[in-house]
Amino acid sequence: MTKNKATKKEKRKRRRILLIKDALFCTLLSLLTFALFSSILFSISYFNPLLHSFKDFSFLDAYYQVFNSNGDKTNENLVLVNIEDLNREEIANLIEIINKTNPALIGVDIVFRQDGNSETTEKLKSQLSKQNVIRASILSDSLKSVVSDDNTTSGYVNLTTAEATGIIRSFVGITESKGTRQYAFAAQLVRKWNSGQIWNTNGLERKLKERKRIKFYGNFQSFSHLNARTILQGKHLDKLKGKLVIVGYMGFPTGNPYDVEDKHFTPLNQHPLGKGIPDMYGITIHANIANMLLNDDFFLELSMFEKGILIFLFSYMVSIYFLRLDRKLKISYRTVRKLVLFVFAFCFVGICLWLFQNNVALEPTIIIIMTIYTAGFVKYYKHLIRYLKTKFEFKSYIK
């Protein structure tokens, strides 16, 4: 009796070792074939639209559609001013009036091209040259601006995406251009805010050396915002004192959904798939970035290496589970596999959305795709092993 128990225990141990070995080989082969097939697939120009659609999609965008409740976290010191259809002279007057209310800082999200030395241009230049005014600039731009750009009184407003998709999800806070360090418009505003106290205390110089995911708190309605003409008429001036005032374009009239001048797609778009029109003006994106920096409210994101480890672990666990399941179930295996993968995908997306709510950005798409692919690959691995057993003699968990 004791000998039989010992024999059974030894057999179970050998099966576990074989299972671990087969699961490892299955995982490595699935990852290798997936990388091979995807590289071939996306090297064919015919599939470029599919590639762009894949890059454009993110499960995490669902958070802003369903769970977004960040509107109450907008900094009360941020005030947006919409210029609507003001001309240069009126904008110069606007900046002058705002400055008289003693704001802490004025950010002008407008790029003015040099158009001679007219009286209006000189007045505009005078207002833009004030010490508390941060001007917008454009990286790699050869055209001259009204006021020469530098890395202390201007910030670039380029809103480029990480993979050249159409949705703005991240930004580069600091970059090198023409041998000098350049700061993004929102980063420059926070850098100058309160004499750089928040910038230095929160270590933003170090944090912004890498591309960061933007935390969106809402569209312009979530921020304190004013119309430029009401300010020119001397109204609501008390709301500007001591504030960080950002002047820019938010539609004519304000919030016009069909005015797409300086408007971009963001995760807040109400039609994330097959979207028709952009949803957020550039000034509002800069305001969201500035709010995120002022609150030191960053997402924790995994490195490519860490993501690779997660993909491997999930694929390995799936290989172990479905190799065992395939051996136990003969008739209902496919049905159970589909059910398990559906429950896994649903639960994993939910976990990722919960993590996102708690400032951990884990994109589930590639992990889910690889998990499903590996689960399907188990069948082909089983056929491969059975074929190899006809040619070579070796032990395997697969019968």
Query: At residue 3, does pLDDT exceed 60?
Result: no
Distance, in Å, from the CA atom of 267 to the CA atom of 67, rounded to the nearest integer, reads 12
Whether residue 111 contacts residue 138, with contact meaning beta carbons closer than 8 Å, is answered with yes
Q: Per the structure block, which two tokens stand in for 204?
A: 């933003």
Distance, in Å, from the CA atom of 290 to the CA atom of 307, rounded to the nearest integer, reads 28
- Per-residue confidence (pLDDT) for residue 66, from 0 to 100: 76
Q: Per the structure block, which two tokens stand in for 383?
A: 């056929």
- Please state, rounded to an integer, the average pLDDT across all residues of the chain: 87
Distance, in Å, from the CA atom of 323 to the CA atom of 19, rounded to the nearest integer, reads 8
Higher pLDDT, 145 or 133: 133
Distance, in Å, from the CA atom of 256 to the CA atom of 262, rounded to the nearest integer, reads 12
Whether residue 159 contacts residue 278, with contact meaning beta carbons closer than 8 Å, is answered with no
Which position has the token pair 């704001």? 103
pLDDT digits (tens, 9 = 90+) for 342-356: 999 999 999 998 999
Whether residue 95 contacts residue 125, with contact meaning beta carbons closer than 8 Å, is answered with no
Structure-derived torsion over alpha carbons of residues 392, 393, 398, 399, reported in degrees to the nearest 10:
110
pLDDT digits (tens, 9 = 90+) for 212-229: 999 999 999 999 999 999
Query: At residue 142, does pLDDT exceed 70?
Result: no
Using pLDDT thresholds of 50, 70 and 90, give the confidence band for residue 377.
very high
- Per-residue confidence (pLDDT) for residue 373, from 0 to 100: 95
Longest dimension (CA), the chain: 106
Residue 177, SS3 per DSSP: strand
Using pLDDT thresholds of 50, 70 and 90, give the confidence band for residue 14.
confident
Distance, in Å, from the CA atom of 238 to the CA atom of 216, rounded to the nearest integer, reads 27
pLDDT digits (tens, 9 = 90+) for 191-217: 999 888 999 999 999 999 899 999 999
Q: What is the pTM of this model?
A: 0.86
Query: At residue 161, does pLDDT exceed 70?
Result: no
Higher pLDDT, 119 or 242: 242
- Per-residue confidence (pLDDT) for residue 277, from 0 to 100: 85
Distance, in Å, from the CA atom of 265 to the CA atom of 274, rounded to the nearest integer, reads 12
- Per-residue confidence (pLDDT) for residue 310, from 0 to 100: 94
Query: At residue 150, does pLDDT exceed 90?
Result: no
- Return all residues near 220 (Cβ < 8 A) that are at least 6 apart: 80, 250, 254, 255, 280, 281, 283, 284, 287
Q: Do the bridges between strand 105-108 and strand 133-137 make them parallel or antiparallel, or are there none, so unpaired? A: parallel
Query: At residue 163, does pLDDT exceed 60?
Result: no
Distance, in Å, from the CA atom of 269 to the CA atom of 80, rounded to the nearest integer, reads 20
In the chain, what percentage of residues exceed pLDDT 90? Answer: 54
Using pLDDT thresholds of 50, 70 and 90, give the confidence band for residue 70.
low
Span 234-261, mean pLDDT?
Answer: 93
Lowest mean pLDDT among 11-25, 45-59, 262-276, 322-336: 45-59
First and final C-alpha spacing in the chain: 27
